[in-house]
């Protein structure tokens, strides 16, 4: 079972001069996408008892995601107001004192032995106490299961840059798979090429560093020569949830290949990585073709033209 631990929130998406509330959050989106792809998936993040909390739980249940590990909270759900410019999404977060943000290391539940991989990332890594909680969870699980990290960096959300950089440095040393966009790279390692950044992360212990580039497709850097997968051409509605869905496609492909184990992740080969990139880009293409974070179901990928 793949455990996704990190933020859920309500995306307030502009529509016909108003805002439409849609369930979202980077790690939440990846959990939904994994469930829709038929993967055994669990989710860990506090869910508010407010009305928006029910809106978050419903898609998880429909996708078959296990929410047993999710504490319930009387605090409010985080809201993210979305601005779309040329299809690209920008966010303003209303998060102070929210249900998720107040997750502390002491609140972490026991993780069942069925969990075989961990996915983390997004804004849940930034503030405390929730950032410390996710870091503690990664430290606890990394010795026994593969960890994938997508920092999905939002600079405007970061108040203590030094502390956040230090946390990312520690987490990058734990991660087996790291996914970075061009924006992530510019913030994390200004002036570095992706090849230089990948080499540094591989030296830290990563087994694969994934580079996403929207219409340019995706590239995997590992101990082998870099390999790439082209993007599937679609008419873009918006990019909300694209990277999150890509992450799910990668994890789903690796799970199906038996590579999401400590032994399997250490022996990643180019063919397995190439298949993972392909599923990731194909799944992301469906998401960007429709409004909001609406990842595909497995049946949609089965009927999608290559």
pLDDT(281) > 70: yes
Angle CA 199–249–58, to nearest 5: 130
Domains of the chain: 2-7+29-46+60-70+106-297 (3.40.1190.20)
How far is the C-alpha of 263 from the C-alpha of 301, rounded, in Å? 29
The per-residue pLDDT for 194 is 92
pTM: 0.94
Query: Per residue in 124-146, pLDDT tens?
Result: 999 999 999 999 999 999 999 99
Q: DSSP strand E in the chain: where? A: 2-5, 9-15, 18-24, 41-44, 47-48, 72-73, 79-85, 88-94, 117-121, 147-150, 177-181, 208-212, 218-221, 227-229
* Residue 292 pLDDT class (50, 70, 90 cuts): confident
Tokens for 140? 């606890």
The per-residue pLDDT for 58 is 96
Query: Per residue in 243-260, pLDDT tens?
Result: 999 999 999 999 999 999
- Positive or negative, the CA dihedral 66, 115, 302, 278 is positive
pLDDT(214) > 80: no
The per-residue pLDDT for 156 is 85
Half-sphere exposure of 24 (CA within 13 A, CB side): 27
How many contiguous H segments (helices) and E segments (strands) does the chain have?
10, 14
The per-residue pLDDT for 88 is 67
Check: CB of residue 82 under 8 Å from CB of residue 24: no
Percentage of the chain exceeding pLDDT 90: 75
Check: CB of residue 45 under 8 Å from CB of residue 70: yes
pLDDT(89) > 90: no
- Token pair 């390999």 in the structure block, residue: 227
The per-residue pLDDT for 42 is 98
Query: Per residue in 2-43, pLDDT tens?
Result: 999 999 999 888 888 888 898 999 999 999 999 999 999 999
Collect contacts of 88-92 with beta carbons under 8 A, ≥24 apart. Answer: 88/238, 88/239, 89/238, 89/239, 89/240, 91/11, 91/154
């Amino acid at each position: 079972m793949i455990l996704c631990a990190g933020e859920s929130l309500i995306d307030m998406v502009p529509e016909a001069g108003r805002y439409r509330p849609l369930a979202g959050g980077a790690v939440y989106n990846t959990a939904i996408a994994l469930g829709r792809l038929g993967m055994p998936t669990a989710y860990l993040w506090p869910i508010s008892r407010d009305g928006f909390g029910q809106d978050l739980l419903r898609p998880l249940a429909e996708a078959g995601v296990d929410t047993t590990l999710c504490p319930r909270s009387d605090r409010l759900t985080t809201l993210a107001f979305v601005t779309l410019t040329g299809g690209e999404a920008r966010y303003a977060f209303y998060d102070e004192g929210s249900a998720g943000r107040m997750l502390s290391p002491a609140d972490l539940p026991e993780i069942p032995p069925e969990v075989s991989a961990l996915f983390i990332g997004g804004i849940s890594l930034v503030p405390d106490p929730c950032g410390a909680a996710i870091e503690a969870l990664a430290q606890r699980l990394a010795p026994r299961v593969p960890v994938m990290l997508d920092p999905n960096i939002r600079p405007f959300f970061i108040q203590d840059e030094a502390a956040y950089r230090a946390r990312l440095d520690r987490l990058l040393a734990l991660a087996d798979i790291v996914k970075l966009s061009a924006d992530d790279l510019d913030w994390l390692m200004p002036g570095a090429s992706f090849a230089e950044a990948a080499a540094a992360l591989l030296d830290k212990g990563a087994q694969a560093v994934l580079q996403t580039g929207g219409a340019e497709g995706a590239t995997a850097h590992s101990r082998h020569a870099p390999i790439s997968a082209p993007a599937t051409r679609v008419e873009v509605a918006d990019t909300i949830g694209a990277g999150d869905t890509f992450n799910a496609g990668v994890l789903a492909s690796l799970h199906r290949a038996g590579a999401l184990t400590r032994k399997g992740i250490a022996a990643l080969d180019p063919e397995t990585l190439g298949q993972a990139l392909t599923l990731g880009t194909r799944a992301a293409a469906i998401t960007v073709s429709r409004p909001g974070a609406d990842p595909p179901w497995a049946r949609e990928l089965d009927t999608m033209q290559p």
